[in-house]
Structure 1
Amino acid sequence: MTSTMSKILIFGGTGGIGESFARALHKMGKKVIITGRREDRLGSLAKELPGLETYTMDNSDLGAIPRHANTLIAKYPDVDTVWVNSGVQYQGSFKSLDGFGDEKIINEINVNLTAPIILARYFVPHLISLGRDEGTTFMVTSSGIAFVPAGLFPVYSPTKAGVHSFMVGLRQSIKGDDANINFIEIVPPYVRTDLDVANRLWHAITPMELDDFTRDTLKELEKPAKELKEVAAGTAIPRVRAWRDAFNPLLRMGG
């Protein structure tokens, strides 16, 4: 699939998985546009990677997403791949009111689930309208936790499960053969990034190295896009396989 990707827009590209793939795709000669909240980080990446384009936005500001989406579509009308990667993760307990603040719950749901759905609303029709022979692609990063929840992350887990369900539904409701668009869910395991900087588990669980995750995922993305639904790596692979083996017989509409 990577051979048909020409211009890629990555939401959340200033660190972790988003930055790693932005670097890798830029190195492959792709045109890459990244978004992020931190203007200083966007600026430093643009200086380091000639030709990389950047756009400042905060996915937690749901009311501003339509304006940003329309601006990006107008500025990059020929973008053929949109990847929603931005996300936040909090640990907490519901045993007491002190374990989880309302603002964290709202922010985690907004960034991880609501924002990707709103972005899909704006970008999926545009990607379809391109009528590109090679097809277009809409991708969202979920998590192995979407398939087997983790009690340490009581809000993050359902937001990622929601992303997975949303992507299955998109495939079912918008036929790839008719619209020539592919919906691909990127499923990382626990990866060594700053996502969980406040509550790292590195002392208890060995994370997959970011470079290894990027390499393995790009290898999978070399396959034809029509063959790809969930693209997993590391310990997320058996989780995805178990779900597919259990539910494939029930997914009669190509989800």
Structure 2
Amino acid sequence: MNGTGNTILVTGGTSGIGLGLALRLHKAGNKIIIAGRRQALLDQIVAEHPGIDSVLLDVCDPQSIQRNSEALATRHPNLNVLINNAGIMHWEDLTDSEYLGTAEDTVTTNLLGTIRMVYAFIPQLLKQPSATIVNVSSALAFVPLPATPTYSATKAAVHSFTQSLRVQLEASPIEVIELAPPGVRTTLLGQENDEHAMPLDEFLDELFELLETSPTPRELIVERAKPLRFAEASGSHEEVLNMLAGYKPPAE
């Protein structure tokens, strides 16, 4: 992936890792389009950062995805990078049927949202001389956090889907990259003040060092994510799983 001169669409671009990526990529000389569900927040970010564009897009809504893919093909015909970052993460108690809706929403957003975005935007990306799809999974794709079972499962599925996507697009101009962050201090799961989570700027600093590597790694894994990513290979999977099992939802 080229570091500059791209036209990049970032889903979930109004907060956390998505916004952090968007601002840094904008500063590096890329045309950025942030996508999100809250028009007022999109307008605020665009006003504060001249040159950034925005689209009102809900990855849970297939019609919203299709409308935006058609509109952006006209509005930004040079769009050549798709970053599938939008996602949700919630605690779940699998013994309580009230959480079934939470699980279904998580699958729709994290997994179906990513898949639908890929299907919708591949036609435009294939027209570019060089293009990139970045799917954001998680270190929890490799060892689940038992207190967030469906989130972990969707990210494992995103990892698998991304591997297959890479193979199918091998002969095309589209490069496929997976970004698997560790816990980062964002509003996702209320981790903004979690001392166990990685500070956002620190994460972005290390991530952009990886992005500057040539060729760009197929998987973007910062050091803090490596114990989970390589737990199976190192034989520590059960140990890491048991450690994560001790991470419980805060008492209400």
**TM-score band (shorter)?**
0.7 to 0.9
1:10 paired residue number: 10
1:230 paired residue number: 219
1:152 paired residue number: 147
1:253 paired residue number: none
- Per-residue deviation at 1:239? 2.7
- Per-residue deviation at 1:73? 2.1
Aligned to 1:188, which of 181, 189, 210? 181
- Per-residue deviation at 1:103? 2.5
1:147-197 Cα shifts (integer Å, max 9, x gaps): 11110101101100010000000111221xx21211001110000000112
- Contact 1:213–1:234 (CA under 8 A) maintained in structure 2: no
Other structure's SS at 1:179 match: coil
- Per-residue deviation at 1:201? 9.2
The structure-2 alpha-carbon separation of the partners of 1:237 and 1:2, relative to structure 1 and needing over 3 Å to count, comes to: farther
Other structure's SS at 1:169 match: helix
Other structure's SS at 2:188 match: coil
- Distance in 1, Cα, partners of 2:196 & 2:218: 27
2:247 paired residue number: none
- What letter is aligned with 2:163? V
Aligned to 2:202, which of 203, 208, 212? 212
Other structure's SS at 1:183 match: strand
The structure-2 alpha-carbon separation of the partners of 1:240 and 1:20, relative to structure 1 and needing over 3 Å to count, comes to: same
- What letter is aligned with 2:186? T
The structure-2 alpha-carbon separation of the partners of 1:6 and 1:244, relative to structure 1 and needing over 3 Å to count, comes to: farther
1:121-156 Cα shifts (integer Å, max 9, x gaps): 1212321222x1xx2100111100001111010110
- Per-residue deviation at 1:14? 0.3
- Distance in 1, Cα, partners of 2:67 & 2:37: 15
1:189-208 Cα shifts (integer Å, max 9, x gaps): 000000112xx5956x6100
Give the length in aligned residue pairs: 235
- Distance in 2, Cα, partners of 1:74 & 1:234: 40
1:97-131 Cα shifts (integer Å, max 9, x gaps): 24x1x32222110110001101111212321222x
Q: Does the alignment pair 1:118 with 2:116?
A: yes
- Distance in 2, Cα, partners of 1:243 & 1:81: 31
The structure-2 alpha-carbon separation of the partners of 1:244 and 1:61, relative to structure 1 and needing over 3 Å to count, comes to: farther
- What letter is aligned with 1:223? T
CA RMSD of aligned residues (A): 2.0
- Contact 1:35–1:56 (CA under 8 A) maintained in structure 2: yes
Aligned to 2:172, which of 179, 203, 221? 179
Aligned to 1:108, which of 101, 106, 109? 106
1:252 paired residue number: none
- Per-residue deviation at 1:80? 1.4
The structure-2 alpha-carbon separation of the partners of 1:66 and 1:245, relative to structure 1 and needing over 3 Å to count, comes to: farther
1:27-74 Cα shifts (integer Å, max 9, x gaps): 112111101111111111111111100111211223432122222222
- Contact 2:142–2:228 (CA under 8 A) maintained in structure 1: yes
TM-score by length of 2: 0.87
- Per-residue deviation at 1:244? 7.3
- Distance in 1, Cα, partners of 2:145 & 2:85: 20
- Distance in 2, Cα, partners of 1:74 & 1:162: 32
- Distance in 1, Cα, partners of 2:101 & 2:42: 26
* Structure 1 unmatched runs, 5+: 247-255
- What letter is aligned with 1:8? I
- What letter is aligned with 1:220? L
- Per-residue deviation at 1:2? 3.8
2:131 paired residue number: 136
Other structure's SS at 1:83 match: strand
2:40 paired residue number: 40
